[in-house]
Structure 1
Amino acid sequence: MLRVVFLLLCPLLSKGHVTPFANCPQFFLNGIPPTILRSNNRYQQICQCLLDQNLQPEYFYATLYDTENRIPVYSAYVFQHPHVPRQDKWLIEPQLDGINGACMTAPTSLLSNNIGHRQAVECDYDGTRYDKGHLYPVSHTATQRAMQATFTLTNAAPQDSNFNRGQWRLHELSLVNILGTHPNSFVVTGVVPGNQKIAAGRVMEARYYWSAYCYRDNNGIYHSSGYIGPDQNGRVQTLVLGDLEVALQGFYNVQTFTVFGGQCY
């Protein structure tokens, strides 16, 4: 048993390759993704999918994943009005760890000691005060399949349980009210990494969660807003999109950071 645990936490070296954003432009405003962070093989583009009845990939959203911190940078999706119940069953992305597989799957279906080398696994959260905080939340999905697809650990980061179940949940529900009458709204939710890793020291905690939306009304006018939290009072701040992008530019230490490709102001 000790040997199995050690191999799970310290797997063999591998390099995975997952589906690039070019295969799922439908989740980005005008097909342009948010700024893609680049550092050798660290940041991986994932078109998040489940296999359909013909064993072909069915895409639901897109994630930029940080394989060093083992948390996502952001997930991008098209808002859907929710009407499905939550069903927790966490999955992983096999290709991140160099394992054959086109889409996310249950880790128990994979016979490999390499699982978890470049991504989080469920036991990373055991015994911590953190929730597996969704970026693309269940409350923004409209089908059973879309709901299931949000339950991959590449779409989650360690989020303080009080914030996750309190102010951030209220924020997610507020977007349901704002975007419910705008079915083609684009949403991006991201994580600013913190300074320490949880539990076994493999997965970086989230310092901030942020999100932004963009939609065009019937007159062709763009509407957008940005959000980030928790602030010093444990709440979610509302920002204009441009101010959020300036903040993210500093947090990610890049010259520019755009959420919607420099559009939707």
Structure 2
Amino acid sequence: MLGLLLLQVLASCLWLKHSKVVTSFASPQFFYNNATPSNALLAQNPAWICQHYKNQYNFATLYDRKMHTPLYSACIYQPGPGSRSKSWFVEPQLIDKNSLKQMERESVLTEKYKFTLDQIKESQAVLADYKVMKGLDRGHLSPSSHQDSRESKTATFTLTNIVPQDSSLNTGQWNNYECKTMVQKTKDCKSTYVITGAVPGNTYVSGNRVNRPSHIWSAACCLGEDTQPKDAWGAIAENDKNMVELVSLGVLEKNLTDLYGKTVTLFNNACPRYQSFYLF
């Protein structure tokens, strides 16, 4: 089942092989039944990215080139052992559609390919933005712990998958949700689709370059042995407190509708909205 899903993902992402920034995900198999979130989550200056690294596609991201943060990242949950990347990357295809086909380190772009830092900064956040932040971490939307290989884990270390996240939350209750709660909630799932996002906030950091989200949220749709949805849930946290609320998918969508001011739908209707759920 998972192998077939990954083959579908590969087919869905071929448009990025030509570095095209288009008006939607071409064939979004990172999303259950091809259903992407509603337009309430649309970016101001959007880039639809199917993350390509080491000849494979790993997750999908809707990135806002004006706020210099992602709106959400989506993946098929497949945790596995492995270490975190020691390097951080940026996306050359956001600089120039004819540029390199996969993410690269800033130093390689400036030293080997002669891009200037200003060229990179026009379309995305850079390492210097996060080095000047206080009390905030480089918070993954699609975390490395949800990937199963060294290459796919490394792929999550692109700054287009990162938001300024409260340090205590990132290392505390949000990490607990990513690494413990998700493991327990998915133990009876054949496969699980995950979308994790950030609600744009009213403040910017790093010289007003990078938006600081007001909330971090995540949603999951769990498929059973018959490949049909059997469970769904969500999590949401204010981005200045070390506290995560575990909720049903329906409650999460309602909360996000209130925060965005527009109706938010995250998954295909087959994913249960108000099914009773449990933590363990």
State the TM bucket, normalised to the shorter chain: 0.7 to 0.9
Q: Which residue of 1 aligns with 2:32?
A: 29
After the TM superposition, which of the residue ranges 161-170 and 179-188 deviates more from structure 2?
Answer: 179-188
After superposition, residues 171-250 of structure 1 pair within 5 angstroms as 171-173=177-179, 174-218=181-225, 220-230=228-238, 234-250=242-258
Q: Which residue of 2 aligns with 1:13?
A: none
Question: In the TM superposition, what is the alpha-carbon distance from 1:47 to its structure 2 partner?
Answer: 0.5
| Aligned residue pairs, count | 243
TM-score normalized with structure 1 length: 0.84
Q: Which residue of 2 aligns with 1:108?
A: 107
Identity %: 35
Does the residue aligned with 2:212 lie in a helix, a strand or coil?
strand
After superposition, residues 4-153 of structure 1 pair within 5 angstroms as 17-18=20-21, 22-23=25-26, 25-36=28-39, 37-38=41-42, 42-52=45-55, 58-98=56-96, 100-110=99-109, 111-113=114-116, 114-128=119-133, 129-153=135-159
Gaps of at least 5 residues in structure 1 are 1-15, 53-57
1:118 partner letter = S
Distance 1:97 1:77 in 2: 24
Question: In the TM superposition, what is the alpha-carbon distance from 1:218 to its structure 2 partner?
Answer: 2.9
Q: Which residue of 2 aligns with 1:6?
A: none
Distance 1:23 1:84 in 2: 31
Asked if the contact 2:48–2:60 (Cα under 8 Å) also holds between the matched residues in 1, the reply is: yes
Question: In the TM superposition, what is the alpha-carbon distance from 1:222 to its structure 2 partner?
Answer: 2.2
Where does structure 1 differ by over 6 angstroms across 4 or more consecutive aligned residues?
Answer: none
Distance 2:265 2:184 in 1: 25
2:172 partner letter = G
Distance 1:38 1:192 in 2: 11
Q: Which residue of 2 aligns with 1:160?
A: 166
1:83 partner letter = P
Does the residue aligned with 2:222 lie in a helix, a strand or coil?
strand
**Deviations 1:28-80 (CA, angstroms, capped at 9, x unpaired):** 101221224446x712111011142xxxxx21000011111111110000001
Does the residue aligned with 1:259 lie in a helix, a strand or coil?
coil
Aligned CA distance change for structure 1 residues 24 and 196 (closer, same or farther; 3 Å)? same
Aligned CA distance change for structure 1 residues 210 and 155 (closer, same or farther; 3 Å)? same
Distance 1:221 1:126 in 2: 41
Distance 1:209 1:20 in 2: 25
Question: In the TM superposition, what is the alpha-carbon distance from 1:86 to its structure 2 partner?
Answer: 1.3
Aligned CA distance change for structure 1 residues 180 and 147 (closer, same or farther; 3 Å)? farther
Question: In the TM superposition, what is the alpha-carbon distance from 1:186 to its structure 2 partner?
Answer: 0.3
Asked if the contact 2:190–2:223 (Cα under 8 Å) also holds between the matched residues in 1, the reply is: no
Distance 1:20 1:60 in 2: 20
Question: In the TM superposition, what is the alpha-carbon distance from 1:235 to its structure 2 partner?
Answer: 0.8
Asked if the contact 1:23–1:47 (Cα under 8 Å) also holds between the matched residues in 2, the reply is: no
Distance 1:196 1:231 in 2: 12
Distance 1:231 1:50 in 2: 29
Question: In the TM superposition, what is the alpha-carbon distance from 1:252 to its structure 2 partner?
Answer: 2.4
TM-score normalized with structure 2 length: 0.80
**Deviations 1:170-201 (CA, angstroms, capped at 9, x unpaired):** 11111022224424100010001221111222
Match of 2:269 among 240, 256, 262: 262
Distance 1:19 1:61 in 2: 16
Does the residue aligned with 1:27 lie in a helix, a strand or coil?
coil
Distance 2:85 2:240 in 1: 33
2:144 partner letter = V
Asked if the contact 2:169–2:240 (Cα under 8 Å) also holds between the matched residues in 1, the reply is: no
Q: CA RMSD in A?
A: 2.2
Aligned CA distance change for structure 1 residues 142 and 115 (closer, same or farther; 3 Å)? same
Asked if the contact 2:217–2:237 (Cα under 8 Å) also holds between the matched residues in 1, the reply is: yes
Distance 1:126 1:29 in 2: 36
